[in-house]
Structure 1
Amino acid sequence: MTTVFGLLAIELVLALIGVGRSNAQGDPMMGFSKQVPLLERFTDEDGKVWMRTAENKLVWFNDQRFPLTKPANTQRIFCLGGSTTFGRPYDDNTSFAGWLREWLRHVDASSHHEVFNAGGVSYASYRVAAVMEELADHDPDLFIVYTGQNEFLERRTYADFFEQSKTQLWLTGLLSQTRMYAAIDSIIRKNDQPKHATESITLAAEVDERLNHTVGPSDYIRDEEWSDKVGEHFRFNIQRMITIARSANAKILFVVPASNEKDCSPFKPDPEDDSFESARQAFDAGDFDLAHSAFQSAIDRDICPLRAPSDFAQFIRELPESDDVRVLDFESALRDVCLDEHGHDILGEEYFLDHVHPTIDAHRRLSQWLVSELRDAGWLTADSIAWNELSRESVDRVDQTVLGRIDRRTQGIAMRNLAKVMHWAGKFEVAAPRARDAIKMLNGDAESQFILADCLRWTGQIDEAVIEFERGVKDYPVYCRGVQRYGQLLLEMGDNDAAREMFSIATIGWPESDPRHWGARFQLSIAHLGASDFEAAHRELLRCHEHAPDDLDVMFALAEASAGIGKSEVAVELYERVLDEFPDDVETHLNLGYTLLRLNQTSQASMHFETALLLAPDNVRAKAGVVVISQLNESTK
């Protein structure tokens, strides 16, 4: 008891001498290589001092600003989260923060509202919390947080943190709110260098997505233990944000995230899980309850989880509300709208541009629901009005203000970029409509045209793909990347002559210093082989072989071309070099066997046919080769 009274006395003394509580509850799981502030101070030409988004942060954040000194009768609102808060694929103008800023001018006109969009592209909860710590020093009144979609984007490991009990974690959080903690922490920070070695996870100063280092989501594997720890870390940071807000005497409103479940398949589906296919079948059959659960299971079982799992959303949904903490269930509200408009509550392309980013209209709806939530919580002035009580003129003015800021070309480029990302990720069913949007908004666009055609190709709509590719070649005949893709489709279709024309254009278009030149030249040679033009194939492949003498694909094709023009000895040598690296390659054994037959080297040919048959007992060419050898042996007796 004496110890408790002593601690309270120290708290009282620290309060009297002006030591405040810490605004930050540190994350014991995370260490950043360096803290790069979101904000920088600047003075305008009138001498007014502002805080604005730092120039080196504009890759991830909108260009925003607010006065260093908050004016009287002003409510300062910071909107935090990832790319949805940012407004992707567009920007702040049409984000829920941008809409909210305009609504508040009309529904709460007696007060001034600063709405600062602090959404960071690809920012997960731990980075959002770090931004929130910085913003807590700037006299906030309210934080609005939309997070949960980006938790699995970055590599990180967890060491000793999860060996702590929940009681230990709670006690650490409680103590971090005291003045004594703030004073000790301040002293430590001044005298100690930050430690990142094993005590915490060290992350780069900015987001380093795993997807940046791979072609598609191949880097992700099933790891239940790691996923559980990511979930625990997410829940910790949500609680941490509440602590930060309270330490700054601010309120906080969490938004339950929503995702496109119906029209975006898993980024890396579990081979043993058919939830998405089952969901689609149930949806088509009108069994929406079964479809709902199956779609959610597909999201939860995605090996590359780029949408918030259901337990993340449920955790936010179940947060205890209070005078300073509220929750807006965006997902449920959007489902209600979907049910009313479409007769089911399965969220899809009607409300999302891709897997998670809402349409402009969905952002608008969210902003309206935020206004309602703020009024219900009593966080707006007493004479504020509901958004649905605004005059038609006021509503039209808000719509005109927000939508009038949209630049059609900028919007088209955003759609093109979104199509590119989704195409890269293998989400062709999502990329195709965005490519169509870009073509329309940009009044034609080469890259978008060929992305659309390629998406149709990969979704099995071959006739439609050919039509779009032909349109692209007609309108953009020297767009090498698209022409080359069309050549690949023609090659798959067996139209070697047309493929040769496309690859010839690409070969001429790409300079030899560009690796794509050599890819196109190699594909041209394969088309020549398919057309049995061995002379042309040999000519192109010699160039490729000179450029990449150790490339085994080139070596294999060159062997085939050499055999085709009668240079069987050269072909044998090349095939043997391939087998040195891949001794179990069936096709090489077979090609070498038939080439040796032409040279009347039956015993060596027989060995390769037998090897091929051992490796692939049902291979027709191998069986035929063995029969030929047997007949030759019979004829020589």
Structure 2
Amino acid sequence: MNAENTPKKRLYLVITILFPIIFFLLLELGLRLFNYGEDYPLFQPVANQAGWLETNPNVVKRFYSNPENAAKVQISPVYFKADKPKDSFRIVVQGGSTAAGYPYGRWGGLAGMLNDRLEATFPDREIEVITTAMSAVNSYTMLDFVDEIIDIQPDAVLIYAGHNEFIGIMGVGTSLSSAEARGTTLLYLKLRKLRLYQLVQSVMNLFSAAPIDQAATGEARKTLMAKAAAGQLISKDSDTFALGEQQLAGNLDLILSKYAEAGIPVMVGTLASNEKDQAPFVSEPERLSDNGKMLQQQLQNALTNQQLDELSELTKQYPSSAEAWYAYAQATLATGDAKLARERFVIAKDLDQMRFRAPESFNKIIRTAALKHQATLVDVNQHLAAESKDGIIGDELMLEHLHPNAEGYFLLADAYYEVLKSQQLIGTWGNQLTREQAASEMPITEVDRVVADFKIKQLKANYPFTDTPYDVEFPKPWHPVIELARQKVEKEKSWVEIMSELLTFYQQTDQLDKGAVVARMLAQASPTNSGNNLSAGMLLMFKGEYQRSLRYLLRSAELNPNNADTWTGLAYSRIGLGQKQLALRAIERLERLRGNPDTINELKQQVSRL
């Protein structure tokens, strides 16, 4: 009897085990059949532009199930060809808000700065610098992107990231994290692709707290990063701090190993932040405590009277006090000992329990990982320090705690530019601009600077820069540039519309240098727009930069071969370069298009003198 029932029992056991698996598999297939959920690919086809891809601005929805949070973090779309051109050099940038260029936007970031400068250095070669950087992301997000980046066959990957390991998407110190354990978070990155998982997440969101009204005051007005950090103070000797180090080391190890296996060169940068002019956000003991109030008074008195011995004693009495070490560093710098002062500023930064700035141990992790996987180290921290007063990074290059100003962003990109040059990855670096010339025409416009200034004022008007948030009003538009900046802040017009109007303003006021910068930005943003490429090419031609003008004029001719202005510009540029035969061909084409007779005669006279 028992023997007869054994096969039935086994069958029953198998059915019992397989039934839930089959059920959930069928449910998953059903959800996909009815197109429930999203994949949110990193790269997607460009609408109405066959053969082109763009970075997906909504890719962050992979990680933020709450649409209110996802709407605040978007990646800048960059167009590039789906089939990589044979003669192109394709670079992909990975990182957080600094790599993305906050608060200036794409062209202030690593990709925008580098793309513009590399185009000038290699006018005869197609350069593609694609950014996947965006605010609030850390090494988990970067790791999740790696396979898709490998698929588009980059010739190099540039990484600048690490500030968001504690306070960022899935960071160990954020309330927005999906899990505390790294293994669980890596599993989440796999599960979130399932439609069933997305369904469960949507149901949970229905019962979650109402979205925060950004027009509200007080707690509701905190930035996304500040809300993530709420109540998450992390001391240097805590388990959470150690988890953050393990998170960066483990994820960076996986990232670099994947690229190494694919044979893709990687350049990874050390991290820089405001050491000298950013006081610690949260110190131990806290300011509101009795010990904190007493310590603050002692520090103020000792600092005012330059009592180094007293400050030294206070750091011994309160060895974990970021404020004590910061005051000690300030007093040390006043004595002229910049080297020792910097060491103490770094200690103060590392003891700051509000983890908005990466600790110094992260740079050691980055160096170790780069050496292990034969990635090239870009010492951004030292590059910026070398250009800072007393060799200590401060407000001269930083807008607040860690985002560079325009000059700081240029230096960040310059660090990668110089390493690319030393590696000779792209080719012969014969047409490079001088560093001074490149800095003078960096792709950050006057509108960008006004908008950035306003955004930083808004940022500093909120937690954690102040415990009493206040409103910041945009300045009254007394100038066309200010008005365009206001329209950008208020989102009354698109970026293309605003830049087009700025270009017109510069042309009307004979500011050709500034106009050429805007025209290049428009052409780089819309490589399939013949008009934008024509404008950039003509302005560079008028400036006498004939070699640089050819990139845009030739692209314009390819997109719209029957535009007489394009062939006029090409003829003048060829003449400027002494290319007689190519100039004659451009003039012949212009004649067939019935171009301006006077212009054609002038061109022929100039060719005859070659």
Q: Give the TM-score, by structure 2 length.
A: 0.53
Q: Partner of 1:348 in structure 2? A: 394
By how many angstroms is 1:287 displaced?
Answer: 2.8
Cα gap change, 1:427/1:194 in structure 2, threshold over 3 Å: closer, same or farther?
closer
1:221 aligns with 2:233: yes
Q: Partner of 1:44 in structure 2? A: 48
Aligned with 2:165 (options 151, 176, 181): 151
1:367 aligns with 2:367: no
Q: Partner of 2:28 in structure 1? A: none
Aligned with 2:245 (options 228, 231, 241): 231
Q: Partner of 2:429 in structure 1? A: 384
Aligned with 1:250 (options 255, 264, 272): 264
Partner SS for 1:366: helix
* C-alpha contact 1:416 1:438 (8 A) present in aligned 2: no
1:83 aligns with 2:92: no
Give the AA of the match of 1:379: L
Question: 1: CA distance between counterparts of 2:391 and 2:88?
Answer: 39
Which of structures 1 and 2 has the bigger CA Rg?
A: 1
1:419 aligns with 2:457: yes
By how many angstroms is 1:421 displaced?
Answer: 1.6
Cα gap change, 1:322/1:191 in structure 2, threshold over 3 Å: closer, same or farther?
closer
Give the AA of the match of 2:416: L
For 1:11-26, list aligned pairs within 5 A.
Answer: none
Question: 1: CA distance between counterparts of 2:392 and 2:192?
Answer: 50
Question: 1: CA distance between counterparts of 2:94 and 2:457?
Answer: 25
**For residues 378-402 of structure 1, what are the alpha-carbon distances to aligned partners after superposition, in whole Å with 9 as ceiling and x for unaligned?**
3121x22484xx369xx64774362
1:298 aligns with 2:298: no
By how many angstroms is 1:252 displaced?
Answer: 0.7
Aligned with 1:266 (options 272, 275, 280): 280
Question: 2: CA distance between counterparts of 1:43 and 1:192?
Answer: 25
1:311 aligns with 2:356: no
Question: 2: CA distance between counterparts of 1:270 and 1:214?
Answer: 19
Partner SS for 1:253: strand
* C-alpha contact 1:265 1:427 (8 A) present in aligned 2: no
1:120 aligns with 2:124: no
Question: 1: CA distance between counterparts of 2:163 and 2:473?
Answer: 24
By how many angstroms is 1:321 displaced?
Answer: 4.0
Question: 1: CA distance between counterparts of 2:456 and 2:333?
Answer: 27
Aligned residues: 370
Cα gap change, 1:55/1:148 in structure 2, threshold over 3 Å: closer, same or farther?
closer
Cα gap change, 1:294/1:407 in structure 2, threshold over 3 Å: closer, same or farther?
same
1:277 aligns with 2:330: no
For 1:159-170, list aligned pairs within 5 A.
Answer: 159=181, 161=183
Question: 2: CA distance between counterparts of 1:438 and 1:119?
Answer: 33
Cα gap change, 1:310/1:439 in structure 2, threshold over 3 Å: closer, same or farther?
farther
Cα gap change, 1:248/1:413 in structure 2, threshold over 3 Å: closer, same or farther?
same
Unmatched 5+ residue regions in structure 1?
A: 1-32, 163-168, 170-185, 198-203, 448-637
* C-alpha contact 2:266 2:375 (8 A) present in aligned 1: yes
Cα gap change, 1:227/1:401 in structure 2, threshold over 3 Å: closer, same or farther?
closer
By how many angstroms is 1:436 displaced?
Answer: 11
Question: 2: CA distance between counterparts of 1:435 and 1:298?
Answer: 33
Q: Partner of 2:443 in structure 1? A: 402
Cα gap change, 1:217/1:48 in structure 2, threshold over 3 Å: closer, same or farther?
closer
Give the AA of the match of 2:43: L
For 1:535-614, list aligned pairs within 5 A.
Answer: none
Partner SS for 1:402: coil
- Which of the pair has the greater relative contact order for Cα pairs under 8 Å at 6+ separation? 2
Give the AA of the match of 2:46: F
Q: Partner of 1:98 in structure 2? A: 112
Give the aligned CA root-mean-square deviation in angstroms: 4.3
Partner SS for 2:343: helix
Unmatched 5+ residue regions in structure 2?
A: 1-36, 61-70, 168-173, 201-207, 213-219, 286-317, 487-610
Give the AA of the match of 2:232: Y
Q: Partner of 2:155 in structure 1? A: 141
